[in-house]
Amino acid sequence: MSGPRFDVITLFPDQFPNLVEMGVVGRAFKKQLFELNCWNPRDFTEDPHRTVDDRPYGGGPGMVMLAEPLVRCLKAIRDARGDNAPVVFLTPHGPLLKQADIRGLSAQGQGAIFLCGRYEGIDQRFIDDYVEQTYCLGDFVLSGGELAVACFVDAWVRLLPDVLNHALSATQDSFESGLLDCPHYTRPEVFENKAVPDVLLSGNHAKIESWRFEQAKAYTRRYRPELLDQTDKSVKKA
């Protein structure tokens, strides 16, 4: 296995098999371009009930994931990996996850250890002492971290060499250049009285690239104008 290794700490490992069975990620998994392992903290408990949560100090609704099973689980992962891959936690407390963050982690080559939260939260002492990087998918709340981690892994895997059919596909995606992707068209040439833009039928690749760039800027200005502001600031700094 020469690709990255992903280890996921999760109380619901059955949520992950579908991720590696279908589509781009499924093909990459079958070609052994990356490794995915799920670790259940319940397997690292020491009581007959395999307890992984308890009531929060101070009262209030919900339960909190215990630190002790998580520490034992993480130690077993570290022993199995034999490296210093970062522990990543998807949480509302983290900065918004960006394409550049995933590219940066991907460039390190070793993968990551993902922590999936559940219930009301995780004992803060585990987060303080063992979590190294935090990210947030957006201003909304999920029932657990599994879906967020699946999104992270999907976005990461498609950046790996030999995953996509065309090597340039990932580099032309939205956010790669700081812009949204341009609009795309395919057959038929006319659909419901709307024709494909003439420039795309011209065969003039220079004009096509110029049109696509201008369309990408126009789409970004219309739908995500803050991205243009960020791009302008980056250019000025350079």
Whether residue 235 is predicted with pLDDT greater than 50 in this model: the reply is no
Phi, psi of 72 (to 5 degrees): -65, -40
d(CA 137, CA 95): 9
pLDDT score for 176: 78
Amino acid, single-letter form, for residue 139: D
Closest CA to 231 of 175, 168, 165: 175
* Contact status, residue 202 vs residue 63, Cβ threshold 8 Å: no
Tens-place pLDDT, residues 2-30: 799 999 999 999 999 999 999 999 999 99
Whether residue 167 is predicted with pLDDT greater than 70 in this model: the reply is no
In Å, how far are 97, 106, 148, 153 from 134, measured between CA atoms?
A: 9, 16, 12, 15
* Contact status, residue 189 vs residue 196, Cβ threshold 8 Å: yes
Q: Which residues are catalytic?
A: 92, 120, 158, 173
206 dihedral zone (left: phi>0; alpha: psi -120 to 50; beta): alpha
* Contact status, residue 11 vs residue 118, Cβ threshold 8 Å: yes
pLDDT score for 238: 43
Tens-place pLDDT, residues 92-109: 999 999 999 999 999 999
DSSP H/E element including 212: helix 205-223
Tens-place pLDDT, residues 24-71: 999 999 999 999 999 999 999 999 999 999 999 999 999 999 999 999
Buried-state track 31-70, b at ≥16 Cβ within 10 A, e below 16 = eebbebebbbbeebbeeeeeebbeeeeeeeeeebbbbebb
d(CA 59, CA 78): 34
pLDDT score for 178: 85
pLDDT score for 229: 78
Q: Which residues have C-beta within 8 Å of that of residue 121, sequence separation ≥ 6?
A: 62, 64, 65
Tens-place pLDDT, residues 128-142: 999 999 999 999 999
How far from the centroid of its chain's Cα atoms is residue 23's Cα? Answer: 16
Across 219-237, average pLDDT: 76
Whether residue 77 is predicted with pLDDT greater than 80 in this model: the reply is yes
d(CA 150, CA 78): 21
- What does pLDDT average to over the chain? 92
CB-facing half-sphere around the CA of 107: CA atoms within 13 A = 6
Tens-place pLDDT, residues 151-162: 999 999 999 999
